Amino acid sequence: MPRDDSHLPQALRGLRIPLIASPLFIISVPALVIAQCKAGIIGSFPALNAREAEGEHPLLDTWLTQIKEELDRHNQANPDNPAAPYAVNQIVHRSNTRLDRDLEICVKHEVPVWITSLGARVEVNEAAHSCGGVVLHDVINNKFAKKAVEKGADGLVAVAAGAGGHAGQQSPFALVREIREWYDGPVALSGSIATGESLLGARAMGADFGYAGSPFIATDEANADQAYKDMIVDSSAEDIVYSSLFTGVWGNYLKGSVKNAGMDPDNLPTADASSMNFGSDREKPKAWKTIWGSGQGIGAIKAVGPAGAIVDRMADEYFAAGKKLAAEFN
Ligand SMILES: Cc1cc2nc3c(=O)[nH]c(=O)nc-3n(C[C@H](O)[C@H](O)[C@H](O)COP(=O)(O)O)c2cc1C
C-alpha cells in the first residue's frame, strides 16, 4: 500500500521516501540541492550560503533560477519520476541583516518550502504564505514548538539530541511524543538519521519525515573540504563533541577538527548566547570553516560518493526494514 500523505500540504507530498535533506551552512550549494531533489527527497540550502561580492547581483537570485531551471528540465525529461520540491532555510536571528532582502527574493521565486531556524517570526511566515510556501520551523523542545505554531509555522522540525550543527538535548522519543500530544501537523524529526531503519523509526514514533544532514557532507556535490568528507567517513558517534563554544549555541562537532585546531575536545569551555552572529559578516573563525559540524549518525557513512547514492541506499533500507517489521503484525 503506498504511503498515505494526503494530510500533508501539497509541497510535502509524493516523496520517494519521507526524507528532507537539512540545510547545511557553507556545504549545501545548488549542485547538492539539485541532486537531492532529483533523487526524490526535499533538498535544501541556507539562503546565507549564497554570498555575492559587494555590488554584485544577489547570488541567491541566481541560485534559485538555476535550481528551478534544472529541476524543470529534469521533470520534462522524466515525467514519471519528477524531482521533489526544494527548500530554502532562513536564519531568523536578529544578527541576520540580509533577512528582508532574502525574503523578497524567495517570494519572487515562489519558493515551495521554507525552513526557518533560530527564532519564529510572524512576518517571515506571512512572506512565505504570500507566495504559497509552506514553513517548517526548527525547534529543540516542546515550548518552542508551541511558539512556532502560534506564530504561524505550517510544520515543525524537531531537532533532537545527536543532530549535526546546532542540536537539541532531548531524546527523539520524548520530543516527538510531547509534540504529538497536541499537534497533528507536519513534523520532521532531526538527529542522527543516516539509515533507512532510522528513518522508519522516526515514522514509527509519529514523525511524518526524517531530516538528515551529516550524511550529505560526505558527497561529491557537497561544498566541503576533502579532509572534512574523509573525517565523516572515518568517524562515528564517539568522535562527536557537544559544545556551545564555537557559535554561542549548543551543537555537535567532529572532535578531530577541534583537535586539528589545537584544542582539547574533551575539555572545552562554554560560551554565552551573546556571541551568536549570523550576519553576512559571520566570519567567526573556526565555527564551520575549521571546526566541522556533524551529527552522531555518521557511523553509517562508509565512503564519499554521489548524494543520490545515499538516497538510494536509504530507500532500499527503508522499504526492506518496513516489510520485515510489517511481517510481525500479520
Ligand atoms: C555542518 C552543518 C551545518 C548546518 N547548518 C545549518 C544551517 O545553516 N541552518 C539550519 O537550519 N540547520 C543547519 N544544520 C543543522 C541541520 O539542519 C540538521 O538539524 C542536522 O543536520 C540533522 O542532524 P544530522 O546531521 O545528524 O543528520 C547544520 C548541520 C551541520 C552538520
- CATH code assigned to 10-225+295-327: 3.20.20.70
Give yes or no for residue 119 CB within 6 A of ligand 1: no
- Looking from the CA of residue 252, the nearest atom of ligand 1 is 31
For 9, the grid coordinates are 500540504
Give yes or no for residue 160 CB within 6 A of ligand 1: no
Span from the CA of 327 to the centroid of ligand 1 (angstroms): 35
Write out the DSSP string of 240-277.
Answer: EEEESTTTSS-EEEEHHHHHHTT--TTSPPP--GGG--
User: Greatest CA span in the chain, whole angstroms?
Assistant: 64
- What is the spatial distance between Cα 193 and Cα 318, in angstroms, rounded to a whole number? 12
Span from the CA of 69 to the centroid of ligand 1 (angstroms): 26
Span from the CA of 262 to the centroid of ligand 1 (angstroms): 24
Tens of pLDDT, residue by residue, the chain (330 residues) = 778 999 999 999 999 999 999 999 999 999 999 999 999 999 999 999 999 999 999 999 999 999 999 999 999 999 999 999 999 999 988 888 999 999 999 999 999 999 999 888 899 999 999 999 999 999 999 999 999 999 999 999 999 999 999 899 999 999 999 999 999 999 999 999 999 999 999 999 999 999 999 999 999 999 999 999 999 999 999 999 999 998 888 999 999 999 999 999 999 887 765 655 555 444 444 678 899 999 999 999 999 999 999 999 999 999 999 999 999 998
Which residue type, as a one-letter code, is found at position 263? M
Q: According to the model, what pLDDT value does residue 283 have?
A: 43
Span from the CA of 167 to the centroid of ligand 1 (angstroms): 8
Query: Phi, psi at residue 44, to the nearest 5°?
Result: -150, 165
Q: According to the model, what pLDDT value does residue 318 have?
A: 98
In order of 151, 194, 199, 277, the CA distances from 313 in angstroms are: 37, 10, 12, 37
- What is the spatial distance between Cα 157 and Cα 149, in angstroms, rounded to a whole number? 11
- For helices 122-130 and 99-108, the axis angle rounded to 10 degrees is 20
- Looking from the CA of residue 22, the nearest atom of ligand 1 is 17
Write out the DSSP string of 164-214.
Answer: SEE---S-HHHHHHHHHTT--S-EEEESS--SHHHHHHHHHHT-SEEEE-G
**Which residues have CB under 8 Å from 288's CB, separation 6+?**
25, 26, 246
In order of 122, 189, 309, the CA distances from 34 in angstroms are: 29, 22, 14
In order of 58, 63, 123, 257, 316, the CA distances from 107 in angstroms are: 14, 14, 12, 38, 36
- Looking from the CA of residue 193, the nearest atom of ligand 1 is 27
Q: What is the DSSP letter of 44?
A: E
Going by their DSSP bridges, the two strands 240-243 and 209-212 should be labelled as unpaired
Q: According to the model, what pLDDT value does residue 247 have?
A: 86
For 238, the grid coordinates are 564517539
Give yes or no for residue 25 CB within 6 A of ligand 1: yes
Other CB atoms within 10 A of residue 320 CB: 13
Span from the CA of 26 to the centroid of ligand 1 (angstroms): 11
For 161, the grid coordinates are 539530541
For 170, the grid coordinates are 532531548
- Looking from the CA of residue 298, the nearest atom of ligand 1 is 26
- What is the spatial distance between Cα 79 and Cα 320, in angstroms, rounded to a whole number? 26
Q: List, in sequence order, every residue forming a beta bridge with 158; answer none if it has no partner.
A: 139, 189
